[in-house]
Amino acid sequence: DGGITQSPKYLFRKEGQNVTLSCEQNLNHDAMYWYRQDPGQGLRLIYYSQIVNDFQKGDIAEGYSVSREKKESFPLTVTSAQKNPTAFYLCASSLAGDRPVEQFFGPGTRLTVL
Amino acid sequence: QQQVKQSPQSLIVQKGGISIINCAYENTAFDYFPWYQQFPGKGPALLIAIRPDVSEKKEGRFTISFNKSAKQFSLHIMDSQPGDSATYFCAATISGGSYIPTFGRGTSLIVHP
């Protein structure tokens, strides 16, 4: 059963802590993405990766870091430098190529800073 | 700068009515326009998409209308049902680049029974 999994579903963080959100896909997609969703703000791109061991900053990368050591995995670390990390985080993947393709989204992780 | 403007932010319709969500863009290089549907607590999923070489695309009760000269496109949901209650995002993508869509801010649709 192919798809994207994100864990945990809910995450609570104390101020000053780094936390890592997991994203795994078994769709054999080359490209993976992290978005942040806030009410009324739509989906804002944090980081994306189109190939293993390579990734690019999106529109709101400050305070976040990623790695892409495996094709299937694209974890996101929310660092203590992120001033307002409480949000819903979505991971997505897609085929890479020379034409627009559908993005497949995971179920999301809701991060709350206490 | 918001490249894709979506309206309204929220929409309430009665069961059986027509829901209309509008999007406008500035960048004429956009050439692929998908719509995503998101239910509460879930990730978005592709609903329907259109390219600018056609003015309309219909899939069941969902229709995209595209006006290239006005740089606008809209989603029409005919015979709206309570199960259509969700957040809808329009998006736009440029071919030849990274193909990462630029999303509108979303419309929260509530369909009353």
Q: Do A42 and B6 touch (CB under 8 A)?
A: yes
Question: Which pLDDT does position A16 carry in this prediction?
Answer: 87
Q: Do B41 and A43 touch (CB under 8 A)?
A: no
Q: How many Å lie between the alpha carbon of A87 and the closest alpha carbon of chain B? A: 12
Question: Which pLDDT does position B29 carry in this prediction?
Answer: 87
Residues in B whose CB is inside 8 Å of some CB of A read 6, 9, 31-32, 34, 36, 41-46, 49, 89, 93, 95-96, 98-101, 103-106
Q: What is the pLDDT of residues A64-83, one digit of tens each?
A: 999 999 999 999 999 988 88
Q: How many Å lie between the alpha carbon of A15 and the closest alpha carbon of chain B? A: 24
When scoring B50, B53, B100 by the number of chain A Cβ atoms within 10 A, the one with the most, hence best to mutate, is B100
Question: Which pLDDT does position A81 carry in this prediction?
Answer: 87
Q: What is the pLDDT of residues A93-106, one digit of tens each?
A: 988 766 667 889 99
Position with higher pLDDT, A98 vs B102 = B102
Q: What is the pLDDT of residues B55-92, one digit of tens each?
A: 999 999 999 999 999 999 999 999 999 999 999 999 99
Residues in a beta bridge with A56: A48
A58 neighbourhood in chain B, CB within 8 Å = 100
Work out the number of other CB atoms within 10 angstroms of the CB of residue A58: 18
CA–CA separation, A63 vs A83, rounded Å? 8
Q: Do A41 and B49 touch (CB under 8 A)?
A: no
- Cis omega before residue A8 (within 30°)? yes
Q: Do B105 and A40 touch (CB under 8 A)?
A: yes
Pairing of strands B19-25, B72-77: antiparallel
Task: Please identify which residue in the block is written with the tokens 């630029």.
Answer: B102
In chain B, the percentage of residues whose pLDDT exceeds 90 is 79
Radius of gyration of chain B (CA): 13
Work out the number of other CB atoms within 10 angstroms of the CB of residue B101: 27
